């Protein structure tokens, strides 16, 4: 039995969730600032942390109210410690430490990517060993998980993360921020008519998306200079097809090489409809995706990872610091 209160504030969402046991989610409040950052075409860190300060108490109160839970009954306070924007992370961390200190509760600092991975367990048990494809705004990684809470990063992007590439392509096509979900939608009505390079088409498990992103940007700029019209839906479809092809082929190859039981997907780009369809169609083994509501940043996923850390007594000292980058492999629990 456990009752975990979790706080996630690593980027532009302030979120508080309360999770009872493995998957009885009593609340998952997400206060998004996307409408504000959209005005600037991307997240402005200084604005993000200031807006977090303004809303953290309200989000916490709303969560406790919706869950009908008294803070005294909580078993532990889980909080994202990184990676993320330092100013944003600080706000969630200070709130978590204050609650832990005032209510004499253990503090659990959760790695943001471990949170994304365990969003999958909010619906179904993960079968180990498994291979996780992590695809978010800041990460593109292949993680081998021999057992619960063990993380071996076997491949990663050498430059841009896939979500970042989506958002930059969105910007050059003058789409609202974030470009990822908009491109996903446009790609459905477009044709794969533009020829783009297949990035890092090699035997490694690494990715590279900056060449693909630059190819799209150059194609658009050259067309603009010549006064030619670009069919935005077709360019979105061509970009998405190529990005998905490399993600899916490398994931399946790694899953076969490591002889895993299951492929799981994590991070904001796991919401992508093309990726979902292609992985499901091409994978010879089971593929697990997080429910759509828990793909992008939310505290339910931090509570889910925090619940496992609570059971493993992985508690954090009250002088825990936030960091823009934390090593995922160091979070592993030996078995
Ligand atoms: O995991 P997340 O919420 O934040 C980070 O930890 O980075 O991921 C946000 C990223 C953004 O780049 C956004 O464009 C992308 O996820 N994203 C998508 C889709 N939904 C969100 N990318 C492609 N297709 C989608 N449907
Ligand atoms: Zn995230």
Sign of CA dihedral 11, 13, 14, 19: negative
State if residue 269 touches ligand 1 by the CB under 6 angstroms criterion. Answer: yes
Give 281-328 pLDDT, tens digit per residue. 999 999 999 999 999 999 999 999 999 999 999 999 999 999 999 999
State if residue 271 touches ligand 1 by the CB under 6 angstroms criterion. Answer: yes
Please state, as a whole number, how many other Cβ atoms lie within 10 Å of the Cβ of residue 234. Answer: 17
Q: Give the span between the Cα atoms of 213 and 256, in whole angstroms.
A: 29
Q: Which of 139, 107, 98, 133 is nearest to 250 (CA)?
A: 133
Indicate whether 129 pLDDT > 80. Answer: yes
Strands (E), 69-151: 76-82, 107-111, 130-135, 140-145
Which atom of ligand 1 lies closest to the CA of 137? 7
Give 131-181 pLDDT, tens digit per residue. 999 999 999 999 999 999 999 999 999 999 999 999 999 999 999 999 999
Q: CB under 8 Å to 123, separation ≥6 — which residues?
A: 23, 290, 291
Q: Give the span between the Cα atoms of 330 and 109, in whole angstroms.
A: 13
- Nearest C-alpha to atom 3 of ligand 1 is from which residue? 296
CA of 270 to the centre of ligand 1 (A): 8
State if residue 84 touches ligand 1 by the CB under 6 angstroms criterion. Answer: no
- Within the chain, residue ranges assigned H as helices are 34-38, 45-67, 86-103, 112-118, 162-172, 179-187, 210-226, 232-257, 273-282, 299-311
pTM for the predicted model, two decimal places: 0.97
């Amino acid at each position: 039995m456990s009752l975990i209160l979790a706080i996630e504030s690593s980027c532009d969402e302030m979120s508080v969730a309360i999770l009872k046991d493995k998957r009885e989610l009593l609340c998952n409040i997400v206060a998004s600032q996307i409408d504000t950052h959209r005005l600037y075409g991307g997240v402005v860190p200084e604005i993000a942390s200031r807006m977090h300060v303004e809303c953290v108490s309200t989000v916490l109160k709303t969560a406790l109210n919706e869950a009908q839970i008294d803070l005294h009954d909580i078993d532990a306070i889980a909080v994202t410690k990184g990676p993320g924007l330092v100013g944003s992370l600080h706000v969630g961390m200070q709130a978590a430490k204050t609650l832990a200190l005032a209510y004499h509760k253990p503090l659990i600092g959760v790695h943001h990517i471990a949170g994304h991975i365990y969003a999958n367990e909010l619906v179904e048990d993960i079968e180990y060993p498994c291979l996780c494809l992590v695809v978010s705004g800041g990460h593109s990684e292949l993680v081998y998980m021999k057992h619960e809470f063990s993380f071996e990063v076997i491949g990663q992007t050498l430059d841009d993360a896939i979500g970042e590439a989506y958002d930059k392509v969105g910007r050059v096509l003058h789409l609202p921020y974030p470009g990822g979900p908009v491109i996903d939608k446009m790609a459905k009505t477009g044709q794969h008519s533009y020829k783009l390079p297949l990035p890092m088409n090699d035997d490694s498990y690494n990715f590279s998306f900056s060449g693909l992103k630059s190819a799209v940007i150059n194609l658009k700029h050259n067309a603009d200079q010549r006064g030619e019209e670009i069919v935005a839906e077709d360019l979105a479809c061509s970009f998405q097809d190529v990005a998905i092809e490399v993600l899916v082929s490398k994931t399946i190859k790694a899953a076969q090489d490591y002889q895993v039981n299951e492929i799981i997907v994590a991070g904001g780009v796991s919401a992508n409809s093309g990726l979902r369809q292609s992985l499901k169609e091409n994978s010879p083994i089971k593929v697990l995706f997080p429910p759509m509501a828990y793909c992008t940043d939310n505290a339910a996923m931090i509570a889910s990872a925090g619940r496992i850390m609570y059971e493993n007594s992985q508690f954090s000292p009250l002088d825990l610091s936030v960091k823009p980058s934390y090593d995922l492999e160091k979070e592993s629990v030996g078995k």
